[in-house]
Structure 1
Amino acid sequence: MTAPVPPPAGPARIRPRHRWLGLSFIALVLLPLALIAAYLFGLARDQYASDVGFTLRQEETPSAGALAGGLASMLGMGAGQANTRVLYEYIRSPALVARVESRLGLRAIYSPGWPQDILYSLPPDATIEELTRFWLRMVRIAFDEASGLMSIQVRAPTPEQATAIAAMVIEEAQSMINGLNTTARADAMHYSTEDLTEAVARLRAARSAMSSFRASTRILDPAADLSGRMGILTSLQEQLATALVENDLLSETTDRADPRRRQLDRRIAVIRSHIEDERRTLGGAAPAGSADPGAPDYPELLARYEELTVDVQVAEMTYRTAQAAHDLARARAERQSLYLATYITPTRAEMSEYPRRFLLSGLGFLFLTLSWVVLVLIGYSLRDRG
């Protein structure tokens, strides 16, 4: 036997759950969408955008002194991304907002639509914190860290106000950069001046010590004085050799009692005594009873002189380096190191582009519809489980 065929399904009928779905769609999607559209097209004020673009540059041409002395790296050539990041944070800071407010009156510009336009208007008595948060919504900053390019879009109720705010941002950014330049130049000159002052004091002390040494020893150059002593010793040795030769010649023709031989013997003894004294003087202090009891201690004298000479040479080298660094710092201080290069001047809008009413309405409809679908699926899932 074949199974009985079930009767065909009857016509579809509207059930209560279908009515609830329609009512929920109206309440959760159409009604909020109508409110959003009413706000965007009826209450939201038009906004005009002004665009501006700039980048931070740094003078990288070293001076002639830096090229000659190789000191350009001492003062940090090359613009780093840190300065651009500082500028980026400054534009977003309450400090800049307060300066623009004091000069243009941001509260007066953005408060006329309050309280009807609660999203694109500002309370007249807004605090600086509220003004800063609103500023971050009205001023959009795009910063490319790879190229260092920064673009800013300013939105305001009128084209003139948007352009004025954008120009004010550029002006305040340039003022901040000028402040950085002034601080950098002051620091560079301050530190280089301190180094130069220390180098001058060190050179003066070294030369003063050398002058005191020469005044106390009454010797300008111990090496030259020692060379003279060596000349005396050489002369005595030559005289001794001559006297010995004469004595040998007389010994062949005369006896020991000859007066000439006794005189030569005394002369040889005196010359040998002087040679011994000179050798002791060159090796240390002069011995007691020598012909020159005031002779200096040359080993100690030369050691002290070499030490003072090295101090003077090091002090002179330090002074030349400090002087070159000071001249380089002064040359860099005479020109502006950092500057803003504007590649897009503040533009003036001819039509209102914001708020983007149709785009926001479409996004609102999409979000509300998705939310409604999720709620419906959750409801049906709970119903099936029940």
Structure 2
Amino acid sequence: MLIGNIKTNRLFWGMVIVPMVMAIVYYAFLARDRYVSSSQVAVHKVGSEGAGEGMQIPGLAALMGGGGISGGNAAETLYVREYVISQDMLNALQKRIQWSKHYAGQMRDPWYYLSPDATREELLKYYQKMVTAQFDATTGLLTISVQAFDRKFADDTVSAIISESEQFVNEISHRLAREQVNFAEGELERSRLNYEAKRKAMLNFQGANNVLDAQRSAVARNDVIAGLQSDLTKAEATLRALRASLREDTPQVRQQKYQIQAIQQQISVESKKLIARNSNDQLNVVASNYQSLELNAGIAQDAYKASVSALESARIESTKKLRSLVIVVSPNMPDEALFPRRIYSLLTIFIMLLLIFGIAKFVIATINDHRD
């Protein structure tokens, strides 16, 4: 019995008293005070369809029954959260406030020690322990918290993070807007050049063939032939009338025959100009080629007009994609350290040690019973 009590006391000392004394020593002499500065932000639209919609604060909308943040804004706020705890943000803080120098080299608190020669991965892991970003899906707010050994440095770090996050949101949203507008401008320029090329080809064709409108010229030529055909019919009728009263060798009959031959020759000349016979100089070929060029120019013109409309639409849509970071709760300068919570932590450790001791004692007692 005495041996059992001695073993129990040793176990109690080893599992409860000694760890508890170590915890007391740590929290009393080693643990450094850590100040916490925090801020709440959200992403919102700069341009919106509805009045006041773009300036609506997500958390306020949720409290007033507005249904909280929209899916797009929630996703963009989550992008900000990932950026806050990323290597890019750490690099930015290193440039702005030399963030790691505040933590590196302090030997007092072993749990929050950062080696001056820490690797990039170790530094990022330590950074993510001291800087947190939590997103509330109900209100759509992102809470950024920073722990530091100095209250001013904690506040400066939060302010720097918010400043970098604002630049991140502005850069991303403006880049998306610029890409959309640049694409529309590129399409407009291509359409303009294509339209000008088609118009130039049509003008060159008109100059080379000495026609303003080949289709109209063909119609006019056809009208001339029709007029000559009418004149020929009248001349032949006159000839028949003359033959009825005069002989073939009379001057009037011979003159009328000459007139008919002249009209027929003119009809032949005009017909050759109108109807193609393997020659690009014929008017019907010219009209066909001109019509093709005119059609291409018309299509290019319609495409150019559509590109102008598309550019205007892209500019309007791009304004709807602009976002900005709203600071709902400004960074606060802490008056006192929130961590470590010494009494709470010591009580928690003591209770956990007692539970572990009780479990160990129960296991040992069970083993001893089986041996007996």
TM-score past 0.5 threshold = yes
1:216 Cα deviation from its structure 2 partner: 1.4
Residues 366 and 304 of structure 1: CA distance in aligned 2, closer, same or farther (over 3 Å): farther
Deviates more, 1:120-129 or 1:94-103: 120-129
Specify the code of the residue in structure 2 equivalent to 1:284: A
Instruction: For residues 320-353 of structure 1, give each alpha carbon's deviation from its aligned partner in whole angstroms, at most 9, with x where no partner exists.
Output: 4445555677788999933211111112323332
Secondary structure at the aligned position of 2:326 is classed as strand
Unaligned runs of 5+ in 1: 1-13, 63-77, 288-294
Does residue 96 (structure 1) correspond to residue 89 (structure 2)? The answer is: yes
1:148 Cα deviation from its structure 2 partner: 4.8
Secondary structure at the aligned position of 2:110 is classed as coil
Does residue 198 (structure 1) correspond to residue 183 (structure 2)? The answer is: no
Specify the code of the residue in structure 2 equivalent to 1:151: T
Does residue 168 (structure 1) correspond to residue 160 (structure 2)? The answer is: yes
Query: What's the C-alpha RMSD, in Å, of the aligned pairs?
Result: 3.6
Unaligned runs of 5+ in 2: 50-70
1:225 Cα deviation from its structure 2 partner: 0.9
Q: Looking at CA atoms only, which structure, 1 or 2, has the larger radius of gyration?
A: 1
Residues 370 and 208 of structure 1: CA distance in aligned 2, closer, same or farther (over 3 Å): same
1:200 Cα deviation from its structure 2 partner: 3.6
Does residue 139 (structure 1) correspond to residue 131 (structure 2)? The answer is: yes
Q: In structure 1, which of residues 304, 324, 329 is the aligned counterpart of residue 289 of structure 2?
A: 304
Q: In structure 2, which of residues 78, 103, 114 is the aligned counterpart of residue 110 of structure 1?
A: 103
Q: Answer yes or no: is the 8 Å Cα contact 2:131–2:147 preserved in 1.
A: yes
CA distance in 2, matches of 1:147, 1:255: 115
Q: Answer yes or no: is the 8 Å Cα contact 1:285–1:296 preserved in 2.
A: no
Secondary structure at the aligned position of 1:119 is classed as helix
Q: Answer yes or no: is the 8 Å Cα contact 2:39–2:332 preserved in 1.
A: yes
Q: Answer yes or no: is the 8 Å Cα contact 1:58–1:79 preserved in 2.
A: no
1:184 Cα deviation from its structure 2 partner: 4.5
Residue 379 of structure 1: aligned partner: 364
Residue 316 of structure 1: aligned partner: 301
TM-score scaled by structure 2? 0.77
Residues 367 and 279 of structure 1: CA distance in aligned 2, closer, same or farther (over 3 Å): farther
Q: Answer yes or no: is the 8 Å Cα contact 2:35–2:151 preserved in 1.
A: yes
1:360 Cα deviation from its structure 2 partner: 2.7
CA distance in 2, matches of 1:322, 1:111: 58
Does residue 57 (structure 1) correspond to residue 44 (structure 2)? The answer is: yes
Residues 45 and 300 of structure 1: CA distance in aligned 2, closer, same or farther (over 3 Å): same
Residue 225 of structure 2: aligned partner: 233
Specify the code of the residue in structure 2 equivalent to 1:89: E
1:154 Cα deviation from its structure 2 partner: 1.4
Does residue 37 (structure 1) correspond to residue 29 (structure 2)? The answer is: no
Q: In structure 1, which of residues 351, 354, 364 is the aligned counterpart of residue 336 of structure 2?
A: 351
Residues 192 and 361 of structure 1: CA distance in aligned 2, closer, same or farther (over 3 Å): same
Residues 219 and 30 of structure 1: CA distance in aligned 2, closer, same or farther (over 3 Å): same
- Equivalent residues in 2 for 1:197-346 (5 A)? 197-250=189-242, 252-254=244-246, 259-285=251-277, 296-323=281-308, 337-346=322-331
Residue 292 of structure 1: aligned partner: none
Q: In percent, how many aligned pairs have the same letter?
A: 23
Size of the alignment, in residue pairs?
350
